[in-house]
Amino acid sequence: MAASHARIGCGNLKRGRNAVIARAVRELSNREDAHRIIADELPPLLGSIFQPAQLEFIRERISQIPASDLRPGLTGRDWLGAFGVCILVVLSTFPVVIPFIVFGDARLALRTSNAFAVVLLFICGILFARHAGLWPWTTGVIMVAIGAALVSVAIALGG
């Protein structure tokens, strides 16, 4: 599940990177340089075990790719991912805006909004850490420290 979310977010980036590498391999006349580029793009373990004949096979297959296929474009998944991020950003602002709707006192609403934002940073830090394999509580506390520092700077500047 997490891998599919990562693919949605950077699919066009990967396609773009692959197209750049494929064009570089196609434009090289020196086969050894092309083999080096191909091997460098592979994970280190795989790059070290491929034989020159296998790298040459890959180079030949890359050379057969039509030039029109080397221009990445946005796909439906890219647009869906962008729409999902947009919705997530809009929805994540609601808890921070609610105090301004509920409280008549702007200063109280601002401080409550700041508190909600810092709590949300803690929750996001924990969720991010779980996803990334980091220490959840440590990451949450670091996010709170960053948020508190930003709020302190805003207050010091008159906010």
The structure's pTM equals 0.54
Between 89 and 15, the higher pLDDT residue: 89
Contact 35, 52 (CB under 8 A): yes
Contact 37, 20 (CB under 8 A): no
Contact 95, 120 (CB under 8 A): yes
Q: How many residues does the chain have?
A: 159
DSSP 68: G
- What tens digit of pLDDT does each residue of 62-106 get? 999 988 888 878 889 889 999 999 999 999 889 999 999 999 999
